[in-house]
């Protein structure tokens, strides 16, 4: 797993107010809003013109999600997988994204 690295910058007041407003609206930290904006910009720049992302993030995300599901399914605490999926659906709702069915699909681990 990659360790996140802290970055710091100065921005105009209007931009700072907007970022803080976004964080308040989403009920997350300013750091999460800034990170999400930077990741989105990075993906947009790297996917423009058909470039392959250095980390091939789509394949990596698919592998991680399948591996995590397998680990959760085999965990001694049988409620852990359900609680993790519930947290995932809450996060999707908070971000305004459509979630997959809670029961999952045919390709679960």
pTM: 0.47
Query: Residue 109: what pLDDT?
Result: 47
Q: In whole angstroms, how far apart are CA 13 and each of 16, 27, 74, 103? A: 5, 21, 49, 45
- What's the whole-number mean pLDDT along residues 95-100? 70
Give residue-wise pLDDT tens across range 45-88: 777 666 655 556 777 888 888 999 899 889 899 899 889 888 88
Rounded Cα distance between 36 and 61, Å, is 16
Query: Does residue 103 surpass a pLDDT of 80?
Result: no
Q: pLDDT digit string (tens) for 80-97? A: 988 988 888 888 888 887
Tens digits of residue pLDDT in 2-31: 677 888 889 999 999 999 999 999 988 999
């Amino acid at each position: 797993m990659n360790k996140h690295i802290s970055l710091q910058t100065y921005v105009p007041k209007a931009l700072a107010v907007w970022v803080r407003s976004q964080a308040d609206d989403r009920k997350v930290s300013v750091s999460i809003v800034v990170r999400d904006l930077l990741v989105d910009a990075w993906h947009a720049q790297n996917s423009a013109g058909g470039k392959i992302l250095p980390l091939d993030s789509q394949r990596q995300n698919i592998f991680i999600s399948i591996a995590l599901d397998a680990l959760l399914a085999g965990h001694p605490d049988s409620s852990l997988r359900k609680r993790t999926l519930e947290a995932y659906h809450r996060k999707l709702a908070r971000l305004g994204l459509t979630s997959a069915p809670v029961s999952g699909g045919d390709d679960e681990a």
